[in-house]
Structure 1
Amino acid sequence: MSCSCSSSTNTQNELHASIMQKINNHPCYSQDAHQHYARIHVAVAPACNIQCNYCNRKYDCSNESRPGVTSYKLTPEEAVKKVLHVGGLIQQLSVVGIAGPGDGLANPKQTFETFSLLKKYAPDIKLCLSTNGLMIHKHIDEIAKYNIEHVTVTLNSVDESGEIGSKIYPWVFYEHKKHRGVEGAKLLLEKQLLGIQMLVERGILVKVNSVLIPGINDEHLPFVARKVKELGVFIQNVMPIISKPEYGTQFGLDGVPSASHKQLMKAQEACDVNVKLMRHCRQCRADAVGLLGEDRSDEFFKESFVDKSFEELAHHYDLNQRMKTHENIETWRRALRAANGKINQEEATNKDELSSNGNTMLVAVTTRGNGLINDHFGSAKEFLIYEAGDKAIKFIMHRKVENSYCMGKENCNGTYPIEEIKNALSDCHLLLTQKIGECPQKELESIHLTCDESFADEPIEISVLKGVRKHFFTAS
């Protein structure tokens, strides 16, 4: 008996270590890594084999950030040149993903040619693929061949009747035929589940993206979570639909609204009991560059890299210097973990695990990365949201605002940015920031939000716990 248990424990530990190695510097698969490592998406896949009512790939705006949007498309050679160019300048770059603007596996020639060249010229970087899942079963061998260890599959419904799926997908193109309505939705689901199963069997980490669409699949998402857990999916990402008429999507034109922060929190809470959740997604563009929450795609025009040779760019990429940079990042992360301690209860499913009296607070944090409270309130365009008690904390989500406070009324279509910020933080109890002025502080206090800049430039996690204890658990 003891030998069997020991063997089982060792196997589990080895499996855990193997997974941790795969996600350690992947900003999408690891909440901790996203504060330190950058990603790049290369837009080599223009075609798509399904139509989603929340998607419009023709929409292009340099100021817009959402899936499917890109400023320009790339050939495989151009894509790899861009990776080498960016990777030399942003040395914390750790992942290359193909996420559109269409579907990577609807453009298999471009996709796998890109991955092949990346293996040759950027062997240190992780390869990542995002797909609707329709064609995984036909390309599983190629995915494994190029050592693509991370695949994201968008799965919005597991309703076998096809009724829910038919409201999301008008048609699915498969084997030279358009399958519409319920027929198309059922076909897509069949291939998605088969593809996910095949990926898991190959030891490839799967992330499932599920778009939260109020009135369509919001009550159904816990069933999706249950199914993906059965399949062995590593993590699920519940993404709020981004829907406005000007985006030209069918849902936007039909008046389906964007999902609110509260709707997202409700859906996440319902799914959290079934599967590990990704809570730090930024719903990136198809050409995103940089840290999550700090897109730098507009800095890298084709002209800056396209005419350079692979040899010149490989020298600029500088594998040795990149290795040193990553070693320095890991040294910093170890120091942060030591400072924070084991207070982040990512898997907590009830408030008693966080608080001695069952009461928890929502804490907003301004940061520019590196795991520190290092951004002024006035320049912040997103806030990290934590749930915390006096025992532990849990990361909940990030919340974006279109305009930072310092943009001012004249730059915000005549409206004051503080109103949008107050709405985004209306359910929060505490704001930890590097610096905040007297005027915005009074505005936030009017919605009963306590502001504290005493933790400026300190590690986020331990500061959240200390801040909550300081302001709400003074007896302890």
Structure 2
Amino acid sequence: MKIDIAQHPCFNREARTQYARVHLPVAPACNVQCRFCDRKFDCVNESRPGVTSVVLTPGQALEYLRRVRERTPQLRVVGIAGPGDPFANTKETLETLRLVRENHPDLLLCVATNGLAIEPHIPTLIRLEVSHVTITVNAVHPEIGAKVYAWMRNGPRVMSGIQAAEMLWAKQSVAIRRLSDAGILVKINSIVIPGLNENELPLIAEQVKALGAQMMNCIPLYPAAGTDFGTLIPSSPETIARLRAEAGAHLPQMTHCARCRADACGLIGADTAPETARDLLAVAKRPRQPGEDRPHIAAVSREGLLVNQHLGEAEALHVFAPDGGAGRLVEIRPAPERGLADRRWESMSDLLRDCQTLLVSGIGPNPRRILEQRGLRVIEMEGLIDDALRELFAGRDMPATMRRRFEGCGHGCAGQGTGCG
């Protein structure tokens, strides 16, 4: 079946009012910490990259896509754009792409990445007929890149500074060339950071065009609260227009970007339909894997009544079973000992293999990633355990009044790239 690549609404301005796209949020982890980025896995309000209301497994993503197609006949594109980086979650990303290609051969496939770890997987992307790839390039001069990125993880090694920025641009360059040589359309996203990389954009455009990129998207900075660049004032519309004109001398510019979320669905610029948003939440509550039996919910608590502990502080895990529309305590399990780094969270996921959800008052990004990749949904909240169990065991979403996002160690966790525990 021949797929019409001109129907991608991000790469073709004329297609944006005719054809829809859906982003499948299966990639929570990231291998680069940008100083402007704050990823959120349970946010329903903000509209920007790095944000999603839930994280799905590949199997859940396939079921969600089935529901989306029933409601959205104009759907043409399935993308993976986070909320982290697809190739910091390679297993989940490639499995999702494989399932979509096998079950929906008529749809376009695309991924959006920082480019650090994509290159070894380009042959697989070619085999799966991925037609579009977006790579975010914010600098080519390492002195500028060192100010954009706090750290990056290259395999087991965490790097920062000029050496890290040099490595990233080198890997991005190789990826752009290989993707373009393979016939995959490459778009470059560049975040416009006032006073830092504005003058870099024409050079980025010139160099990526020489490597084979076909389009560029200059995106005004979104000042995310709590990040290093959270207090910067975005460039004015006049400045953005000038920069696009200068970069446009080298590479065609995308001017209809809506800064889509990692779970965006529908036409570009339009809100996700309420029915689709409900489908996304409903699918996230299904078993993480087909045939999986996880009847229980666990909570982190000091006294067994309130969710009032950060996961890193937990000495015990309270496990509840459904009981007449509420919950019944079935066991209190000792938490794995501290100081084991990733092994602590892997042991905890084994300890909670019969639990579908874990309720915490706070959690770092690394333990969240490990637990969710092993099939455990994590919800940050505050309040009575019984109130949460009543909603969740009834199949309803957690009320917004009970949800919270732990802020106490988030910035510190992001600062070193080594996680907590």
Check conservation: 1:39, 1:94, Cα contact below 8 A: yes
Check conservation: 2:41, 2:55, Cα contact below 8 A: no
In structure 2, the partner of 1:31 is 13
CA deviation after TM superposition for structure 1 residue 147, in Å: 0.7
Q: TM-score, normalised by structure 1?
A: 0.58
Q: Which amino acid aligns with 2:270?
A: E
How far apart in 1 are the matches of 2:108 and 2:149? 31
How far apart in 1 are the matches of 2:173 and 2:77? 26
Two-structure CA RMSD over aligned residues (Å):
2.1
Check conservation: 1:54, 1:250, Cα contact below 8 A: yes
CA deviation after TM superposition for structure 1 residue 59, in Å: 6.7
Q: Point out 4+ residue stretches in structure 1 off by more than 4 angstroms.
A: 303-308
Distance 1:200 1:22, change over 3 A: farther
CA deviation after TM superposition for structure 1 residue 35, in Å: 1.0
Q: Identify the structure with bigger relative contact order (alpha carbons < 8 Å, sequence gap 6+).
A: 2
Query: Is 1:103–2:85 an aligned residue pair?
Result: yes
Where is the helix percentage greater, Structure 1 or Structure 2?
Answer: 1
In structure 2, the partner of 1:151 is 133
Q: Which amino acid aligns with 2:264?
A: A
How far apart in 1 are the matches of 2:43 and 2:238? 28
Q: Which amino acid aligns with 1:123?
A: P
Query: Is 1:70–2:52 an aligned residue pair?
Result: yes
CA deviation after TM superposition for structure 1 residue 262, in Å: 1.6
Q: Which amino acid aligns with 1:102?
A: G
Q: Which amino acid aligns with 2:233?
A: P
In structure 2, the partner of 1:204 is 184
How far apart in 2 are the matches of 1:303 and 1:218? 39
Which of residues 216, 229, 250 is equivalent to 2:228? 250
How far apart in 1 are the matches of 2:68 and 2:234? 33
How far apart in 2 are the matches of 1:226 and 1:77? 41
Where is the strand percentage greater, Structure 1 or Structure 2?
Answer: 2
Q: Which amino acid aligns with 1:213?
A: I
Which of residues 135, 154, 171 is equivalent to 1:174? 154
Q: Which amino acid aligns with 1:221?
A: L
In structure 1, the partner of 2:116 is 134
In structure 1, the partner of 2:333 is none
Which of residues 252, 256, 270 is equivalent to 2:246? 270
In structure 2, the partner of 1:408 is none
**1:24-423 paired onto structure 2 within 5 Å:** 24-58=6-40, 60-159=42-141, 162-244=142-224, 247-252=225-230, 255-296=231-272, 298-299=274-275, 300-301=277-278, 302=280, 304-305=282-283
User: Of the two, which has the highest radius of gyration?
Assistant: 1
* Cα deviation digits, residues 378-425 of structure 1 (max 9, x gap): xxxxxxxxxxxxxxxxxxxxxxxxxxxxxxxxxxxxxxxxxxxxxxxx
How far apart in 1 are the matches of 2:273 and 2:25? 11
Percent identity of equivalent pairs:
43
How far apart in 2 are the matches of 1:262 and 1:49? 33
* Cα deviation digits, residues 66-124 of structure 1 (max 9, x gap): 00010000000111111110111011011010000000011010001001111122111
Check conservation: 1:49, 1:103, Cα contact below 8 A: yes
* Cα deviation digits, residues 154-187 of structure 1 (max 9, x gap): 011111xx10000100111102111111111111
- Ranges in structure 2 where 5+ consecutive residues have no aligned partner: 290-421
CA deviation after TM superposition for structure 1 residue 23, in Å: 3.3
Check conservation: 1:287, 1:297, Cα contact below 8 A: no
Q: TM-score, normalised by structure 2?
A: 0.65
Check conservation: 2:22, 2:266, Cα contact below 8 A: yes
Check conservation: 1:144, 1:202, Cα contact below 8 A: yes
Secondary structure of 2:109's match?
strand
Distance 1:266 1:238, change over 3 A: same
How far apart in 2 are the matches of 1:51 and 1:303? 27
Q: Which amino acid aligns with 1:185?
A: A
- Number of residue pairs aligned between Structure 1 and Structure 2: 286
How far apart in 2 are the matches of 1:59 and 1:110? 16
How far apart in 1 are the matches of 2:250 and 2:82? 29
Check conservation: 1:59, 1:248, Cα contact below 8 A: no
Secondary structure of 1:47's match?
coil
